[in-house]
Structure 1
Amino acid sequence: MHITAIQGDITEQRVDAVVNAANSSLLGGGGVDGAIHRRGGSEILEACKQLRASEYTEGLSVGQAVATTAGELPARWVIHTVGPTYSASRGRSDLLASCYRESLRVADSLPATSVAFPAVSTGVYSYPVDEAAGVAARAVREAETGVELVRFVLFDERTYRAFAAELGQR
């Protein structure tokens, strides 16, 4: 598997699947979640509403993942995952790693061979960027998956630098 990090906009990625750092409601929000819903259009929201009405009546649990159409995005699918809120007193790295592993498991079921990830939980969920980058890189490297390309797409320079350092990019 080829793993890389770039600075950019995840909604512009031409990959099989983009991962959405969703909230448990699956109904949109701020940050990456809001950007994906805005750019992808109403098809994504409608697909999420159908999931909420059927399989996920209580919402999507932290660390889990589910796929929908990508609507008007250049990708084929959106894989929604709910990251943990950071807590200095309680370790949450296992839940964060699960977001990446479960997203790759869902990608395999689609089947998707190229996936773009954001920095899950580093926005409003306050996960420290350096720690999140390490968790993400390890989880992806250790995953048993048929995905051939994983691209971490980071919005700002600081987050990009942290992920690039974890991946040995300079």
Structure 2
Amino acid sequence: MDIRIWQGDITTLALDAIVNAANSTLLGGGGVDGAIHRAAGPELLAHCRTLGGCPTGEARITPGFRLPARFVIHTVGPVWRGGDHGEPGLLACCYRNSLALADAQGLASIAFPAISCGVYGYPLEAAVRIAVTELRRPRPAGSTLQRALLVAFSEDMARLYRDALA
């Protein structure tokens, strides 16, 4: 799978799927979650209300509604509590489960924000290592995924991604 870095607004990407760093209610919030909900329109919130939430580390898929992306894959990253409460494994599961949903839908392209790196406080360097490790894992036989974008919210984050991919 081709992995690239893109700095900018994930809600503008016309890909098969964008990943939402959601909270466990899936009903919107701050940061990228709020931006995705605003850009997708009220239909996204209405659809998410039918899903019954999402536990940390898991993922759910919805239509993109008013977004240029066809689908939104919502995943709930861990809140950083020092690293001794399963946070690395839960964050890895966010990427793994999001990729598995994309494969199950036959998608070719996906974009990930920096999951758990905003208000959830995950240390950026550690989160970047997990993201790159998971995206570099061999895809299962029959995988349709061809391209993944790591979406950076800042030049500093883009640099961390570049260094990790080098």
What TM bracket, shorter-length normalisation? over 0.9
- Counterpart of 1:136 in structure 2 is 131
1:125 aligns with 2:120: yes
Matches within 5 A, 1:26-105: 26-52=26-52, 59-90=53-84, 91-105=86-100
Structure 1 residues 128 and 73: alpha-carbon distance in aligned structure 2, compared to 1, 3 A threshold: same
SS in 2 for 1:79: strand
Provide the rounded CA distance (Å) in 2 between the counterparts of 1:2 and 1:89.
30
Structure 1 residues 143 and 127: alpha-carbon distance in aligned structure 2, compared to 1, 3 A threshold: farther
Structure 1 residues 34 and 3: alpha-carbon distance in aligned structure 2, compared to 1, 3 A threshold: same
- Counterpart of 2:9 in structure 1 is 9
| Displacement of 1:143 | 4.8
| Displacement of 1:161 | 1.0
1:24 aligns with 2:24: yes
Provide the rounded CA distance (Å) in 1 between the counterparts of 2:165 and 2:18.
19
| Displacement of 1:31 | 0.3
Structure 1 residues 142 and 33: alpha-carbon distance in aligned structure 2, compared to 1, 3 A threshold: same
Give identity over the alignment, percent: 48
**Any unmatched runs of 5+ in structure 1?**
53-58
| Displacement of 1:144 | 2.2
Report runs of 4+ in structure 1 exceeding 6 Å deviation.
none
Provide the rounded CA distance (Å) in 2 between the counterparts of 1:161 and 1:43.
35
Deviations 1:9-56 (A, max 9, x none): 10011110000000000000000000000011011111101112xxxx
Please, what is the CA RMSD of the aligned residues?
1.1
Provide the rounded CA distance (Å) in 2 between the counterparts of 1:109 and 1:68.
13
**Any unmatched runs of 5+ in structure 2?**
none
- What's the TM-score once normalised by structure 2's chain length? 0.94
Q: Return the letter of the residue paired with 2:36.
A: I
Provide the rounded CA distance (Å) in 1 between the counterparts of 2:51 and 2:153.
28
Q: Return the letter of the residue paired with 1:157.
A: E
- What's the TM-score once normalised by structure 1's chain length? 0.92
